[in-house]
């Protein structure tokens, strides 16, 4: 990971700090249903405010597509934030222009204001130079704490770092350090557990990790495609017949690169996909023609868990089975709990991310025991795929430029 400036390099007292956060929290019937994203940015907000900064928070919310959509206002989020911290939080019903400028001018040291949804302006997603300049006028310093939006080259995620001295917030710093520990400078041996439904959606991810890990565990319906590509009958299981040749090439590439691929050796099967459906365990080579593979079996779990004991680092993306429905959550839960046990014991470093992965680890009661769990869906996946994230590259570029502050 290239170098970047953090809050350790910053003396924010009396300065206007434009803080890009991700406050795009889930809302149902007007009520916030999960405050995780708010909670995770609070350490950065409070550190800046405690040091006397005037903290000006920028965030998007949902997809208003450049239009003012009242139901997508950040006002409720600002109210929730104020209930969680010991600092005054103002809300401003615009993010640029005279209303925002006047509100920022009235801020006192240690106060916080949340500006309105940046995506109410089309210039945000277009990274429009004029809109970016309007945002930049509101601050002296730019801090990005929104890794989850770092794969977007928007005005508030990428453009501002070209106008102002740029720093990573504490959440961004933790995320970047975790990612570096995962694949760039991992303690070896290192493994990756990749699950999910389709190879076609994770080709870039698999291609990137093949050359970086010692062991690759493949689970979920993706595994069915790899098995079928080798002539294993998978019955009525979900698989991608058109990806068989690709799967064979991946297996050959792994063999050439000395990466061990571990596929299921047994499976939990059922004739219908529903909660509580009658199920049984069978050898992977004995799946009935009228059955579906819906989870990895106990021998596969034992194989994976034994291998985990020999690893120093594990990157996890995707479940091993249809974990949303019992009893097809058993493999994911068992492996998650084993990874958590090893992590707690200090022998394994676990970095996990992706929407289904976070849900699966929470379901297993293991999320809090992992070394790092990223709530950034798209950004985490694009990083695993080896793609350049605009919001990160601009921070590392900014680290090599001198700004007067």
Active site residues: 37, 198, 355, 378
- Residue 192 phi/psi, 5-degree rounding, is -130, 135
Structure tokens, 250? 């991946």
Number of other CB atoms surrounding residue 208 within 10 Å: 17
* CA dihedral of 257, 331, 325, 25, whole degrees rounded to 10: -60
Alpha helix positions (H), 127-257: 129-136, 170-179, 203-210, 220-229, 244-256
Cα distances from 57 to residues 115, 118, 182, 225, in angstroms, run: 6, 10, 30, 45
Q: Which residues of 22-44 are buried (b: 16+ CB within 10 A; e: fewer)?
A: bbbbebeeeebeebebbebbbeb
Instruction: Give the largest Cα separation in the chain, rounded.
Output: 72
Supply the DSSP string of 148-171, one letter for each residue. GGTTS--TTTTGGGGTS-EEE-HH
Compute the distance between CA of residue 147 and CA of residue 163 in angstroms, rounded to an integer: 19
Cβ contact 360:340 at 8 Å: no
Closest-CA residue to 395 (of 195, 166, 196): 166
């Amino acid at each position: 990971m290239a170098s970047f400036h953090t809050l350790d390099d910053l003396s924010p007292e009396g300065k206007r700090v434009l803080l890009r956060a991700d406050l795009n929290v889930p809302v149902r019937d007007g009520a916030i249903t999960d405050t995780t994203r708010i909670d995770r940015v609070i350490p950065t907000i409070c550190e800046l405010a405690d040091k006397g900064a005037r903290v000006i928070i920028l965030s998007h919310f949902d997809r208003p597509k450049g239009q003012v959509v009242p139901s997508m206002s950040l006002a409720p989020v600002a109210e929730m934030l104020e209930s969680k911290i010991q600092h005054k939080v103002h809300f401003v019903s615009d993010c640029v222009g005279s209303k925002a400028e006047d509100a920022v001018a009235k801020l006192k040291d240690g106060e916080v204001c949340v500006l309105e949804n940046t995506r109410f302006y089309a210039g945000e997603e277009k990274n429009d130079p004029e809109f970016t300049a309007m945002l930049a006028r509101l601050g002296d310093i730019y801090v990005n704490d929104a890794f989850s939006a770092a794969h977007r080259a928007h005005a508030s995620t990428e453009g501002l770092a070209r106008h102002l001295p740029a720093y990573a917030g504490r959440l961004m710093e933790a995320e970047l350090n975790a990612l570096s520990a995962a694949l760039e400078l991992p303690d070896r041996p290192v493994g990756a557990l990749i699950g999910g439904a389709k190879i076609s959606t994770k080709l870039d991810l698999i291609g990137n990790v093949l050359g970086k890990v010692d062991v690759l565990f493949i689970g979920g319906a993706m595994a069915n495609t790899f098995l079928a590509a080798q002539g294993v009958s998978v019955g009525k299981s979900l698989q991608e017949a058109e990806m068989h040749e690709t799967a064979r090439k991946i297996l050959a590439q792994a063999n050439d690169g000395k990466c061990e691929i571990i596929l299921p050796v047994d499976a939990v099967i059922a004739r219908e996909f529903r909660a509580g459906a009658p199920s049984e365990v069978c050898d992977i080579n004995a799946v009935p023609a009228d059955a579906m593979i819906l989870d990895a079996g106990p021998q596969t779990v034992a194989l994976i868990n034994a291998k985990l004991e020999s690893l120093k680092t594990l990157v996890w993306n995707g479940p091993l089975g249809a974990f949303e429905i019992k009893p097809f959550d058993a493999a994911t839960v068992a492996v998650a709990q084993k990874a958590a046990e090893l992590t707690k014991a200090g022998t394994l470093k676990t970095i996990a991310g992706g929407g289904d992965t976070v849900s699966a680890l929470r379901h297993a009661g293991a999320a809090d025991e992992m070394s790092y769990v990223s709530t950034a869906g798209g950004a985490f996946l694009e990083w695993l795929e080896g793609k350049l994230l605009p919001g990160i590259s601009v921070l590392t570029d900014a680290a090599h430029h001198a700004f007067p502050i």
